[in-house]
Amino acid sequence: MDALRAKAGDESGDVRQAVAAALGEVGGAAARAALAPLLTDSSDRVRRAAVLALDRASGTGPAVAAKVRRFLSDPAPRVRAAAAVVLGRRRDRASVPALLARLDAPGTWEKPSVEVALGRIGDRRAVRPLIRLAQSPARWLRVCAVHALGEIGAVEARRTIRAGLADPAWSVRGAAATALGSVGTAHDARRLLELLDDPHPWPRRGAVYALGRLHRSEALGRLHAALVDPAPEVRVAACWALGELGDLSARRPLARFLSACPAPADGPRPSPPQAGGLPASDAEDRQLEAAVAALARLRPAAPDAEVDRAIDAAEGRLAAGMLERPARPVFAERFAGAPSVTLRQLFMAARSVAGATDR
């Protein structure tokens, strides 16, 4: 800690930025005290890093959110964006008036982060301005507005969200499809099924999610087919949707998919890279876990040796330490607060009742 404090006064902004990030990882009262001068640093990059670090270094109490709120009026857009990110993570309802004011302010740089924050907070005062921004000429404003409307569950925005399914930007189509999982109706099933043929994987992923979330049984055949989609993001979503629909006929297709899945990487999970025009995604690494989670939700009363053998073989490919790490939900925001289970527990739950073993 003493070394970090000494480096906090380094003349290089890059060093001070790195110190702020490191203090966030260290955490605790001493780290928060050391962050104080970096929060007023002359460099906006350093202030941004310090705001994000303050979030990581702190507990869940309201005092941090109150401190972060003032950075919504920082002169630098990147700092305002960081403040919005933190307030959204903390679901700080007290920040809603200030966040809404940022949506009406000139400039657009931080507005996508503000929109996402408002969606996470879920305050309905944001619905009207988000509907307006969902029709913005700026693509990322449309994307984040539609995403936030879905997070809020704004049924009054259905027409706006449905219009997003035909947007020329694949990112907007994907956000709109996902949002319909929250606000859509049976009337949306036909269009969502059509979107499964979209040339870009992100709208296909969103449509798979929405069809599962809306419990559209007429989509089962297409969801089975999505298990062999070229994109891992779509395959992972298909596992989740089949589990959500309770489709016991999917157990053998899921077992075949599980047998072909690469084992997830052992060790720390790095931040996923952006590639091929997709948002940052770790779907390739999550396929096995998504398949096992789906099989655990589709546990039958009768034994099925073929499926159990595939489950045993997949579990046997993993190092023992990996089995003890927490499983990650496919759509984490939807299930915040759900009890954590380990991969070992998922494997145990996935086997047939009569064929279950305790490895």
Structure confidence by residue, pLDDT tens digits, 159-179? 999 999 999 999 999 999 999
Q: Which residue, among 154, 131, 155, has the nearest Cα to 141 in the 3D structure?
A: 131
What pLDDT does residue 319 have?
85
What pLDDT does residue 356 have?
52
262 band by pLDDT with thresholds 50, 70 and 90:
confident
Model pTM score = 0.87
What pLDDT does residue 270 have?
47
What pLDDT does residue 279 have?
52
pLDDT, mean over the chain: 89
Tallying the residues shown for the chain, one arrives at 359
Separation between Cα atoms, residue 201 and residue 173, nearest integer Å: 10
- Domain boundaries of the chain, sorted by first residue: 185-265+281-359
Q: What is the mean pLDDT of residues 49-76?
A: 91
Burial code of 163-176, b = ≥16 C-beta within 10 A, e = fewer? bbbebeebbbbbbb
Continuous H helices in 227-282 = 232-245, 251-260
- Are the beta carbons of 297 and 243 closer than 8 angstroms? yes
What pLDDT does residue 30 have?
86
What pLDDT does residue 355 have?
55
Q: Which residues, 6+ apart, have CB-to-CB distance to 209 below 8 Å? A: 177, 178, 181, 237, 240, 241, 331
Separation between Cα atoms, residue 305 and residue 252, nearest integer Å: 10
185-265+281-359 sits in which CATH class? mainly alpha
The residue ranking higher by pLDDT, 359 or 143, is 143
Report the 3 state secondary structure along the chain.
CHHHHHHCCCCCHHHHHHHHHHHHHHCCHHHHHHHHHHHHCCCHHHHHHHHHHHHHHCCCCHHHHHHHHHHHHCCCHHHHHHHHHHHHHCCCHHHHHHHHHHHHCCCCCCHHHHHHHHHHHCCHHHHHHHHHHCCCCCHHHHHHHHHHHHHHCCHHHHHHHHHHCCCCCHHHHHHHHHHHHHHCCHHHHHHHHHHCCCCCHHHHHHHHHHHHHCCCHHHHHHHHHHHHCCCHHHHHHHHHHHHHHCCHHHHHHHHHHHHHCCCCCCCCCCCCCCECCECCCCHHHHHHHHHHHHHHHCCCCCCCHHHHHHHHHHHHCCCHHHHCCECCCCCHHHHCCCCCCEHHHHHHHHCCCCCCCCC
Structure confidence by residue, pLDDT tens digits, 279-291? 546 888 899 999 9
29 band by pLDDT with thresholds 50, 70 and 90:
confident
Q: Which residue, among 221, 244, 223, 243, has the nearest Cα to 234 in the 3D structure?
A: 223
Predicted confidence (pLDDT) at residue 70 exceeds the cutoff of 90: yes
Separation between Cα atoms, residue 149 and residue 346, nearest integer Å: 32
What pLDDT does residue 334 have?
46
Residue corresponding to tokens 């047998």 = 259
What pLDDT does residue 1 have?
64
Query: What tokens were used for 273?
Result: 């890279």
Structure confidence by residue, pLDDT tens digits, 93-110? 999 999 999 999 988 899
Q: Which residue, among 250, 355, 344, has the nearest Cα to 294 in the 3D structure?
A: 250
